[in-house]
Every structure is written in C-alpha cells, then in structure tokens.
Structure 1
C-alpha cells in the first residue's frame, strides 16, 4: 500500500468511528458506562482517586498497585459503592508484570479500553550524589512502565474503537532542584504521550497526559522537604493552595471519556496555574 492509499485508508477508518462516538453521547447514564479501565498505582493518593472517579462514572475498574493490600482496599471501596472492580497487583516496571496485569484485568472485566498510567516513584538527590541505580529505578517505573503498559494493552485499546490512554506526568517537567531523575522521567513521559498519540491515533486510540502540580497526598505529607517546597511554590501561583487528588481525577475522567473524543496528544496541567506563573 503506497502513502496515498494509506492516508485514504486511515481517513476511511476515522470516518467510520465518528458515528459510534456520536451515538454514545446520546446514551443516558454514567458517561463511562460499559467501559473497562485499568489504573496503575491505584492503591493510594492520586491513583486511588482516579480509580474511584472512573468507577463513579460507570467504568469497571482494574485496580493495580505493587502493594496487594492497597489494591484490594480500593477494589473493596468501589464494590461497596455499587461499582464493579478487580484488584490486579503487580510490578509494572517490567514487561512480565505489565503483561500479567493486563491479562488479569481483561480476564476479569473484559477487554481494557481505558488505560491510566499513574504508577510512579520519586528519588531526591543532587546530581553529584545521584546513584546510577536510583536513576534507572525511577525511569523503569515512571517511563518504561507506561510504555510497556501501552504496548501490552494496545491491541485491546485499538479493537475497542474508542481506546484512551491517560498518562500521569507532572508539573515537575519545568525542573525542580534536586530531583533530576523524576523530572527527566516525567518530561520523557510527555514526549512518549505525543509519540503514542501520533502512532495509535489512526487506530482510534487517543493518548493524553495530565500534569499535576503540588497535590495533597501521602508522599507530600510524609516528606518534609517536598512539603516545604510545595508550600513555597503555592505562594507564587495564581491559586494559592495545593490541589486535591479528586481534582486530578476529574481531569483524567474527562480525558478518558467521549466528551474528549477530539483531544489527543495534549498535556493538561492541573497545577493551580503554577506552570503559567
């Protein structure tokens, strides 16, 4: 197939999917009803809020976390609220873990058509003190993990005709003192988002990123250095407070839904205006 034929074929494919999205808008009920979402790192903090919000909007949710008891607790919270969920614990920094988690989610709930890459870790160290093994560990979880999860779920996302990936990046792409691995991993995740959006868009898969600013989570509360940094930064941003996990979850739910059906390759900052100060 030559380039012109491929363009024509892609255009026909895209045209064929528009009525499906338009028909979905006419349905009554929750906006994610009938969808299956897989959320990584969903045991606590922002990931937990995302899993709960997607379930509230009608999606069946596969709850991933490396800590099995955290994943189980979120699954129970969703079930108690009348939702449908399964816990799929596992390490998403390695290909075997990504494939296992994706297969388990599909076996329990059906093919995944929403993937939220939320799992992430942080390591603070100045460049002269930063060990190579810590750099590699951060990039394995924060950048390699989302790539491998997208790879594992790509066929299911494309087959659905309305697949959506939402990557949780960070306002830290602007660059903070003493956390080069974290900042680099999140910057790389934005570039990966745009690359995947370009490649998978022709198969009907949208790929976007959410970039939270300082959010009130256990990580912020438990690290005095991060907490102090956050308190300094919010003093100079337009909305002079830290965000809450559910405010990030709201953005993710919108990007995952058909309400954002013409949005792909975008980076949505949920940071109280910090990046625009």
Structure 2
C-alpha cells in the first residue's frame, strides 16, 4: 500500500477509523470524509498531517464529485475508493416511513453510486486501481430492516456491475460484508444484546473486531488481490457459509 492514494468515506466510525489507521500504517496516503465534523477533527488529532480530512454530507448535491476532486487534488491522484459510510434504520414494515427509506437508500446506495461514477475517470488506467464497497450480512435479509437490507443488497449488485464495467479500464470492484462487529454502532442501533447472543453460537464464537474488517478491505485494495474482482467477502465469524 506504500504511496497508494485512497479515499475513505464514513471514516470517523469504528470500521472507518480502523481502516484509516491500517492504510496509513502501511504507507498509504488517505483522504477521509465523514458527516461527523467532530469525528474528522478526532482523526486529524490522532494521525496529524499524514491524513487529509473533509467533513461532508454525501447526500448534498454535488458532494460526491467535490470529495473526489478534493482527494485527487490533495493526494495528487487516486488509486482507491472505499465506500464505507452507512446508516441503519430498524422498524417493522408497516412502520417503515418513506422518508426513512429514502434517507437510508440515499446514503447507503445512491452515494456510493455517485462516488464511483465520479471516481471512475480518475481511477481508470491506474495500476491496481480498486473500489471496495462495505456491505453487510444484511444482504441475506432480516426482519425489521427493509431499507437497510435493500440498500446493502443493492450495493452488492452495484459492486458486481462496477466490476464488469470498470474491469476493462483496469479497475477492480469488490464488496466486504461484515457480520456483528464490536463497534459503537451496536449500541446506537440497540443490537448489542442480539449480536452477542448470535455471535456466541457462531463457529468462531464471538463478535468481530473493526481491525479485522479493515485488514480485509486493505487487502482488497492492494496488489495481493490483483486478480480478485466482483466478489463479496463475508467477515462474519462463519455466519454465512457458502
């Protein structure tokens, strides 16, 4: 990863912060963006001038193009894009409001599409260029989270489309599907109790760590995954077994 230039969205969250640390630790140059401005400031304090940040709401008009332009300018080009930003909404189908549906789809699916569209001309022809979309085990479908599941399932399908369309340009596209990962999102979503109960019955018997997801993303961005594209890697302790 030494010298590679990577744009990471959702960088202030548990997986995002671990990914930024992993990439910088391996010599990459990173522009990190997140809607959480204070989270971006925390990243700056932790990593100093090794990291560029851009607080941004990816659903704003023109935001994906602006952040791609900023990354290209600050990093001197772009070799990889990680669509990690995401939100969750849990409600029974009858209580799933249209506004909630739209918000989840805009952040989890439409923003990655627009970012990939904006980044493709910059990534094209770059040796080892790659897009990694952070999906979820939710692609398999669960009750009470229709919008989230649909957004992540759509993101997985988008990943496969990108692999086919961008492959001839030398750009790989893959998805990472985390299971229950021990991050603050488990508490925010109210899923910690369920996660720990389910995780205890998994082959590995525990929740995952954000560093373990970050390591897989970093691998997919690197030369070691140079012949891997259009794939979904489940980082879930054995919950989904092919």
Instruction: Determine helix, strand or coil for the equivalent of 1:64.
Output: strand
The aligned residue for residue 264 of structure 1 is 229
Instruction: Determine helix, strand or coil for the equivalent of 2:233.
Output: strand
Worse overlay, 207-216 or 85-94: 85-94
Aligned: 1:107 with 2:73: yes
> CA-to-partner distance for each residue in 1:248-272, whole Å, 9 max, x for gaps?
0000000000010000001000000
Unaligned runs of 5+ in 2: none
> CA-to-partner distance for each residue in 1:78-116, whole Å, 9 max, x for gaps?
23xxx7210011111245111111111111111111100
Deviation at 1:71, TM superposition (A): 1.4
The aligned residue for residue 229 of structure 1 is 194
State how far apart, in whole Å, the 1-side matches of 2:63 and 2:145 are: 26
The aligned residue for residue 246 of structure 1 is 211
Aligned: 1:205 with 2:174: no
- Give the conservation status (yes or no) of the 8 Å contact 2:9–2:34: yes
The aligned residue for residue 30 of structure 2 is 61
Compute the TM-score of the two structures, normalised by the length of structure 1: 0.84
Deviation at 1:160, TM superposition (A): 1.6
The aligned residue for residue 23 of structure 1 is none
Worse overlay, 210-219 or 169-178: 169-178
Compute the TM-score of the two structures, normalised by the length of structure 2: 0.96
Provide closer, same or farther for how the CA distance between residues 94 and 192 of structure 1 changes in structure 2, counting only shifts above 3 A: farther
The aligned residue for residue 46 of structure 2 is 77
Aligned: 1:154 with 2:120: yes
Query: Which structure features the higher share of helix residues?
Result: 1
Aligned: 1:125 with 2:88: no
Structure label with greater radius of gyration: 1
Deviation at 1:72, TM superposition (A): 2.4
Aligned: 1:34 with 2:7: no
The aligned residue for residue 16 of structure 2 is 47
State how far apart, in whole Å, the 1-side matches of 2:170 and 2:13 are: 31
Instruction: Determine helix, strand or coil for the equivalent of 1:91.
Output: coil
CA RMSD of superposed structures (Å): 1.4
Provide closer, same or farther for how the CA distance between residues 95 and 158 of structure 1 changes in structure 2, counting only shifts above 3 A: farther
State how far apart, in whole Å, the 2-side matches of 1:175 and 1:235 are: 20
Aligned: 1:192 with 2:161: no
The aligned residue for residue 167 of structure 1 is 133
State how far apart, in whole Å, the 2-side matches of 1:228 and 1:150 are: 35
